[in-house]
Amino acid sequence: MSLEKSAEGGTGRPAPGRVEDVRRGNLIRILASMAEARTDPDTRPTRADLATRTGLTKASVSSLVAELLDAGLLAESGTTRDGERGRPGVGLELSTSRGVVGMEINVDYIAAGLLDLGGTLRIHRTLESSNRGQSPPSVMALLGGLVRDIAAEASAAGIEILGGGLAVPGLVDSASGTVASAPNLQWRGVGLQLEQLLPSAPFGLALYNEANCAALAELWYGHGLDFRDYLFISGEVGVGGGLVIGSELFAGPRGQAGEVGHVVVEPSGPDCSCGGHGCLEAFAGQEAVFSEAGIAPGAASVRLARLGEQLAAGDAAAVAAVSRAGHYLGIAAASTARLMNLSAVVLGGHFTPMGRWIRPALQRSLAEYAPGLISDARVEISELGQSAALLGAAGSSLRAVLAAPFTLTPAGR
Amino acid sequence: MSLEKSAEGGTGRPAPGRVEDVRRGNLIRILASMAEARTDPDTRPTRADLATRTGLTKASVSSLVAELLDAGLLAESGTTRDGERGRPGVGLELSTSRGVVGMEINVDYIAAGLLDLGGTLRIHRTLESSNRGQSPPSVMALLGGLVRDIAAEASAAGIEILGGGLAVPGLVDSASGTVASAPNLQWRGVGLQLEQLLPSAPFGLALYNEANCAALAELWYGHGLDFRDYLFISGEVGVGGGLVIGSELFAGPRGQAGEVGHVVVEPSGPDCSCGGHGCLEAFAGQEAVFSEAGIAPGAASVRLARLGEQLAAGDAAAVAAVSRAGHYLGIAAASTARLMNLSAVVLGGHFTPMGRWIRPALQRSLAEYAPGLISDARVEISELGQSAALLGAAGSSLRAVLAAPFTLTPAGR
DNA sequence: GCTAATTAGTTTTCAATCTGAACTATATGC
DNA sequence: GCATATAGTTCAGATTGAAAACTAATTAGC
């Protein structure tokens, strides 16, 4: 189930432009301006600031802010004495008593967290769980328990939950809430009962791809603060990706863009689970790196730790395996950069712990295959770690709320 | 010089939502609805039709249409007697007495044409000219002459020229009107004096990439009628491309997306003029195909004709050369389809005459590298020929007019 | 302390624009 | 020729933001 409740009708054509739509747009503008100002926690914007920032008049801002206060999306936070002359303004903030839930189902764990509208992660719980091959209902039941705990805690803290987002490592159809294919969970064509997780949240719950979420988390909480356009590559069991263009996720016509793991990097390469061959995943996925480095089979976390040790010790096989992965990552990134006119790459997932070794190899490869397109300074390693997908899912949900405030407001009806 | 005169301020943030903006949006809706209805020439839409189609009331439509008639963008075309009961409506059409100029500078020729707002190509002139290595001013002077002829003819036919678009085979910066690099013309960092071509057109003149224009022409006048999302690959001296997503061109963050010719398809492949190596262009560009087929050097058109003969005669070297090109096109298309979630490919340029032979090779390659993503039926060969880029440039310009009608209307001031 | 200056926010008036309903115009069908 | 149906216009009413006047609360200077 998608939570997109845009101003569009069912026809695909935009709804007729009525005078009321102007107000809807301006409510969104106010919230967008608040979200943008969020980086500066000391000086909360006042109505007058918002008027300057949005170009609206003070009168309009007052009226719009009143409506958003009423809907509980904004809150006043005391007068701001800036020491200047004149009447002090009243500070405004995105409400910390409303929030959204971010959730993640991964191969080895499930997780859920609560993000308030101000963007602060207020609660965060992770539960180890071997989900590979488990039935979707049983995993959803486990997640449901986690979410109920969080909902209870939120309620105790006086936080109302407005919506949520769930990230899974696979191709999803956000509109229908189904997982088309999640090879690492061994799920295929699975419809998830999303409504049951947050039955009373007015914005419902949306389903997202994990790597896409991680890419957005990088935008909102990581290096993305400096980057507006980049390819995010997430190393997991497979290799996932997310394309950020103009500070927004490029989801493609059917919401499944970013599958950089199946870009062909070696036409004569080995067969891939996707049915093709020569895919990046066969050179940069976990199994490829571990076996190339001569690391014995076992749990992924153990193998990753072992690889880290060997890299730190300067083990030749480990260094070569990681360099090879970086080389092929560079080929895929070079092609992507040409195709989509991108100028930055961010690596996450299992690439993060091998960052020190894989980054130079990737940089060399980029210089070899697409000189001048992506400078060395624009190859970054994510530092968000395991919470990235959860943050991205929650952030997406948060943005959905801020983009449709009229759902909670008189203008919505 | 870009002709984007959106409602945005210079800040990158949308302009404040005023009540007047509703009307601007609705003027655009009316024109968009007219452009959409254009496929059915017999039954021209009436005001009542537009009211139904847009969801606006008859009263609003009447008022909006009056303004557009006044601005000369729409025209009445007699009452439509449909045989039904009731007062017959007055047919409306996009004005055929306003138009835009499409222009193209290519290696072997220049061309210009006039498209009326209804989308009919009213005039079309091509001039053979060896432009490789010629100075930009001299080529622009030649094009200027062609455009003056067309302007005179338009004037004689009572058609007012509102704007235009120029397609060149290279990377362009549309905002500044400069050609960053056009290797086949041997131009690099060239600022073109676009204003001089159409000094009095209210919408000015925009600069576009040739392959992008051809991709859009395919959307508006070719197979694109069935496709909303596809990769267009244009074979010229190099290999260009255009990405169409949701019936719109994906231009990328800096307007230079679609460079499929420099996707890496063979990591150990030969060096490329772009500085990288193993690019698709080295396997599917003209020189690669001709030399692989054993065709002696000479003029491109002669060599292409020769290749056609050899293919028709079943010459093994020619067939092998084209198959190899198709194979590598498939690799690049497979990667692109994964990355951007595309499901169709259209080939144009020099691939059109070799279509019968290259299509099966491309289909085989797609089945090998990305099975299930792009069905055989969604691999098409363009039939627009040499006029594609010109049509695309003119069409882009036409759409710019329809997307900013208030430029010519009281609401614009 | 008192007054002027300054900035924040509200109230009032006005113009733009859409909707909806009533109305006029012009066909077809019997 | 009259009923019916559809196209298009006119006009009152509602929503909304802009602009300007106004009220509120603070600092600066004496």
| Residues A381-391, mean pLDDT to the nearest whole number | 93
Q: Count CA atoms closer than 13 A to A61's CA, side-chain side.
A: 22
pLDDT for A307 equals 96
Do A123 and A105 fall within a single domain?
yes
Q: Look at residues B410, B395, B400, B398 and name the one whose alpha carbon lies nearest to residue B24.
A: B410
* pLDDT bucket at B299, cuts 50 / 70 / 90: confident
pLDDT in tens, B273-293: 899 999 999 999 999 999 999
Do A202 and A229 fall within a single domain?
no
Q: What does the alpha-carbon distance between residue B347 and residue B368 come to, in Å, rounded to a whole number?
A: 19
Q: Is B339 in Cβ contact with A257 (below 8 Å)?
A: yes
Name the A residues in 288-327 with CB < 8 Å from any B CB.
none
SS (H, E, C) A80-132: ECCCCCCCCEEEEEECCCEEEEEEEECCCEEEEEEEECCCCEEEEEEEECCCC
Task: Tell whether B250 lies on the interface with A, counting CB pairs under 8 A.
Answer: yes
* pLDDT bucket at B11, cuts 50 / 70 / 90: very low
CATH number at residue A38: 1.10.10.10
DSSP string of A246-271? TTEE---TTS----GGGSBS-TT--B
* pLDDT bucket at A76, cuts 50 / 70 / 90: very high
- Among the residue ranges A28-42, A326-340, B203-217, the one predicted with the least confidence is A28-42
DSSP string of B244-272? EETTEE---TTS----GGGSBS-TT--B-
Whether B408 is covered by a domain: the verdict is no
Interface test with B, best of A18, A341, A406 (most B CBs within 10 A): A341
**In what helix (H) or strand (E) does residue B15 lie, and over which residues does it extend?**
none
Domain, as residue range, for B248: 224-383
Q: What does the alpha-carbon distance between residue B322 and residue B319 come to, in Å, rounded to a whole number?
A: 5
Do B73 and B105 fall within a single domain?
no
- Average pLDDT of chain A? 91
Do A232 and A374 fall within a single domain?
yes
Angle of the B58-71 helix axis to the B19-37 helix axis, nearest 10: 80
- Among the residue ranges A24-28, A85-89, B188-192, the one predicted with the least confidence is A85-89
Whether A1 is covered by a domain: the verdict is no
Q: Which residues of B94-106 are buried (b: 16+ CB within 10 A; e: fewer)?
A: bbbebbbbbbbbb
Q: Look at residues B405, B407, B392 and name the one whose alpha carbon lies nearest to residue B164.
A: B392
% of chain A at pLDDT higher than 70: 94
Do B318 and B273 fall within a single domain?
yes
* pLDDT bucket at A27, cuts 50 / 70 / 90: very high
* Tokens at A233, concatenated: 């590559």
Residue A88 has pLDDT above 60, yes or no: yes
| Residues A24-41, mean pLDDT to the nearest whole number | 87
| Residues A341-364, mean pLDDT to the nearest whole number | 97
Whether A233 is covered by a domain: the verdict is yes
pLDDT for A17 equals 82
Query: Which chain B positions have a beta carbon within 8 Å of A259's beta carbon?
Result: 338-339, 341
CA-CA-CA-CA dihedral for B26, B31, B32, B37, to nearest 10: 130
Query: In this structure, what DSSP letter does residue A75 have?
Result: E
pLDDT in tens, A289-345: 999 999 999 888 899 999 999 999 999 999 999 999 999 999 999 999 999 999 999
Q: Which nucleotide is nearest to B46 (CA to C1')?
A: D7
Alpha helix stretches (DSSP H) within B4-56: 19-37, 47-54
Do B149 and B230 fall within a single domain?
no
Beta-ladder partners of A178: A173, A191
Relative to beta strand B230-235, strand B345-349 is parallel
| Residues B158-174, mean pLDDT to the nearest whole number | 96
pLDDT for A4 equals 31
Residue with tokens 């049951």: A196
Whether A251 is covered by a domain: the verdict is yes
- Average pLDDT of chain B? 91
pLDDT for B412 equals 44
Asked if strand D comes closer than 7 Å to A273 Cβ, the answer is no
CB B19 within 8 A of CB B31: no
The residue type of A223 is: H
Whether B88 is covered by a domain: the verdict is no
- Give the gap in angstroms from C-alpha B142 to the nearest C-alpha of chain A: 32
Q: Is B22 in Cβ contact with A17 (below 8 Å)?
A: yes
Q: Which comes out higher in pLDDT, residue B43 or B244?
A: B244
Q: Is B9 in Cβ contact with A16 (below 8 Å)?
A: no
Whether A5 is covered by a domain: the verdict is no
pLDDT for A3 equals 29
Query: Which chain B positions have a beta carbon within 8 Å of A371's beta carbon?
Result: 274-276
The residue type of B296 is: A
pLDDT in tens, B306-357: 999 999 999 999 999 999 999 999 999 999 999 999 999 999 999 999 999 9
Å separating the CA of residue A115 from the C1' of nucleotide D12: 48
Residue B386 has pLDDT above 90, yes or no: no
Asked if strand C comes closer than 7 Å to B52 Cβ, the answer is no
Q: What does the alpha-carbon distance between residue B411 and residue B7 come to, in Å, rounded to a whole number?
A: 12
Residue B411 has pLDDT above 80, yes or no: no
pLDDT for A409 equals 74
Q: What does the alpha-carbon distance between residue A190 and residue A170 come to, in Å, rounded to a whole number?
A: 11
Residue A5 has pLDDT above 60, yes or no: no
pLDDT for A33 equals 95
Asked if strand C comes closer than 7 Å to B23 Cβ, the answer is yes
* Tokens at B290, concatenated: 């001709």
pLDDT in tens, B304-315: 999 999 999 999
CB B149 within 8 A of CB B111: no
pLDDT for A222 equals 87
A13 to chain B: nearest residue by CA?
A: B54
CA-CA-CA-CA dihedral for B335, B338, B341, B347, to nearest 10: 30
Residue of A13, A54, A369 lying closest to B277 (CB–CB): A369
Beta-strand ranges (E) seen in A192-311 are 205-209, 230-235, 239-245, 248-249
Number of domains in chain A: 3
Q: Which comes out higher in pLDDT, residue A42 or B85?
A: B85
CB A242 within 8 A of CB A358: no
Query: Which chain B positions have a beta carbon within 8 Å of A241's beta carbon?
Result: 339
Q: Look at residues B143, B141, B113, B139 and name the one whose alpha carbon lies nearest to residue B125.
A: B113
Q: What does the alpha-carbon distance between residue A366 and residue A370 come to, in Å, rounded to a whole number?
A: 5
Do B141 and B167 fall within a single domain?
yes
Residue B1 has pLDDT above 50, yes or no: no
Do B248 and B367 fall within a single domain?
yes
Do A111 and A83 fall within a single domain?
no
Protein-proximal nucleotides of chain D (any atom < 7 Å from a CB): 4-12, 14-21, 24-28
pLDDT for B148 equals 97
* pLDDT bucket at A118, cuts 50 / 70 / 90: very high
Q: What does the alpha-carbon distance between residue B75 and residue A371 come to, in Å, rounded to a whole number?
A: 53
CA A65 to chain CA centroid, Å, is 28
pLDDT for A6 equals 32
**In what helix (H) or strand (E) does residue B277 lie, and over which residues does it extend?**
none
Whether B93 is covered by a domain: the verdict is no
Task: Tell whether B344 lies on the interface with A, counting CB pairs under 8 A.
Answer: no
Q: Which residue, A30, A63, A95, sits at the end of a domain? A: A95
Strand order in the sheet with B345-349: B248-249, B239-245, B230-235, B345-349, B379-381
**In what helix (H) or strand (E) does residue A189 lie, and over which residues does it extend?**
strand A187-191
pLDDT for B39 equals 60
Å separating the CA of residue A22 from the C1' of nucleotide C20: 20
pLDDT for B269 equals 96
* Tokens at B276, concatenated: 């990288």
CATH number at residue B322: 3.30.420.40
* pLDDT bucket at B410, cuts 50 / 70 / 90: low
pLDDT for A40 equals 62
Do A27 and A148 fall within a single domain?
no
pLDDT for B280 equals 98
Q: Is A243 in Cβ contact with B16 (below 8 Å)?
A: no
Q: Which nucleotide is nearest to A85 (CA to C1')?
A: D27
Alpha helix stretches (DSSP H) within A341-411: 355-369, 388-402
Backbone angles phi, psi at A65, to 5 degrees: -65, -40
Do B234 and B194 fall within a single domain?
no
Asked if strand D comes closer than 7 Å to A56 Cβ, the answer is yes
CA A184 to chain CA centroid, Å, is 20
- 3 state DSSP class of A234: strand
**Cβ within 8 Å of residue A13, ≥6 positions away:** B29, B53, B54, B55
* pLDDT bucket at B5, cuts 50 / 70 / 90: very low
pLDDT for B2 equals 33
CB B172 within 8 A of CB B203: no
Q: Is B339 in Cβ contact with A339 (below 8 Å)?
A: yes
Do A316 and A371 fall within a single domain?
yes
* Residue B119: other Cβ atoms inside 10 A: 17
Relative to beta strand B98-105, strand B109-116 is antiparallel
Whether A80 is covered by a domain: the verdict is yes
For chain B, the helix, strand and coil percentages under 3-state DSSP, each to the nearest 5: 40, 25, 35
* pLDDT bucket at A16, cuts 50 / 70 / 90: low
